[in-house]
Amino acid sequence: MRGLIDITDFSVEEIDSLIDVANDIIDNPKKYSEKCKGKKLATLFFEPSTRTRLSFEAAMYELGGNVIGFSEASSSSSTKGESVADTAKVISCYADIIAMRHPKEGSAYVAMKNATIPVINAGDGGHCHPTQTLADLLTIYREKGSFDNLTVGLCGDLKFGRTVHSLIGALSRYSGIKFVLISPEELKLPSYVKNDVLKKNNLPYIQTTSLEDVIGELDVLYMTRVQRERFFNEEDYLRLKDSYILDLKKLSLAKDNLSVMHPLPRVNEISVAVDNDPRACYFKQVLYGKYMRMALILKLLEEAEK
C-alpha cells in the first residue's frame, strides 16, 4: 500500500499536482467539504506535536471525514510492549489512513510495511518530516512563484533537524537551487544527506557558522530550533541552543524580498519583533500545512481505492 515516508517517494510532478490541489482548496473550500465523508484518519502520535497532529485532524474534518487516535505513547498499548508493526496491523482494522509520529528513525517505514491502509510519516526521529516539507514547498511556491534559481539558507540544528533533511531532498530536484548551510560545527548537516543528496546531484552549497555573513545573499531563510529532545547531553544543548537568533538588526542586512520560514515551534531562534516584518512567513507556513495535508489525504485515499 502506497504511503508517504520520505518526500522523494513522490515525483516532482506528483508534488506539483499536490500544490495545484492545495491552491484549489484555498480558493474553493466548499468543493472539498464532503470528499472524505465516511472515511477515518487515525493520528498515532508517540511524540508531542501541536501543528502536525492538529493540522492533520483539521484537514480531515474539513474534508468531511472523521478522526481517531492518540496524542501520546503513554495512552497507547506501546507501553505494554506492542510493536509498531502490530499497531499498524490493528489500526488498519479501524481506519482508512494513518498519520504517525514516532521518535525512532524508520518506524514509519515499518508501519507502512505492515499496514493495509496508507501510512503517512508525520516525523520519525531525526530522519524525515515529509508533510512539513509539503507545507514548506507550498509556502515557497506562494511567496516566490517558482522553486527554480533560489538561494536557500538553512540555519540552526542541521544535524537533528528532520525538516531540513526532507526540504533539501525536495528542493534538490528543482533547477538552479543553491544551499547555504548555517550551523555550529557540532550541528552540521549529516554526511548521509550531504553525500546522497547534495554531492550526488552536484548541487552547489556552502557551509558557514555565521548567519550575518550570508543573510544578504538569501532568497529564503529557513530557521530551525536546536532539538533538545535529540541531545544525549544537556550541557551541549545549553551551550548550543542560542547559537542563532534572528532579530531586526540581522534582518536589516537581508534582501527586501527574503522569505523567513521556520517549521515551528520556535524557542529563541526568531525574535518576536520579526513577526511583524512582511518577510516573516512562518505563520502562513502553518496554515499552508493544513491545505497540503488535505491534498495528500485526498491523493492517498484515491489511490488506495483503485
C-alpha cell at 210: 555565521
Is 101 part of the annotated catalytic residue set? yes
Cβ nearer to ligand CP, comparing 3 with 123: 123
Cβ nearer to ligand CP, comparing 92 with 132: 132
Round to whole Å and give the CA distance between 171 and 133. 9
Shortest distance (Å) from residue 47 CB to ligand CP: 8
Shortest distance (Å) from residue 59 CB to ligand CP: 13
Shortest distance (Å) from residue 286 CB to ligand CP: 8
List helix spans (H) across 201-281.
211-214, 234-240, 248-251
Which of 39, 43, 52, 131 is catalytic? The answer is: 52
Shortest distance (Å) from residue 255 CB to ligand CP: 25
Round to whole Å and give the CA distance between 194 and 196. 6
Q: Sheet of 259-261: strands edge to edge?
A: 205-208, 178-182, 151-155, 220-223, 259-261
Three-state DSSP at 209 gives coil
Is 129 part of the annotated catalytic residue set? yes
Which of 39, 102, 129, 159 is catalytic? The answer is: 129
Q: What is the DSSP letter of 260?
A: E
C-alpha cell at 213: 555573513
Cα distances (Å, whole numbers) of residue 164 to 55, 188, 294, 299: 20, 11, 22, 24
Reply yes or no: is the peptide bond before residue 184 cis, omega within 30 of 0: no
Which of 39, 40, 53, 101 is catalytic? The answer is: 101
* Residues binding ligand CP (CB under 6 A): 49-52, 123, 132, 263-265
Cβ nearer to ligand CP, comparing 87 with 132: 132
List helix spans (H) across 45-126.
51-62, 84-91, 107-114
Shortest distance (Å) from residue 189 CB to ligand CP: 19
Which of 2, 35, 51, 144 is catalytic? The answer is: 51
Cβ nearer to ligand CP, comparing 115 with 264: 264
Round to whole Å and give the CA distance between 101 and 117. 16
Contact 212, 244 (CB under 8 A): no
Cβ nearer to ligand CP, comparing 264 with 281: 264
Is 162 part of the annotated catalytic residue set? no
Name the residues annotated as catalytic.
51-52, 80, 101, 129
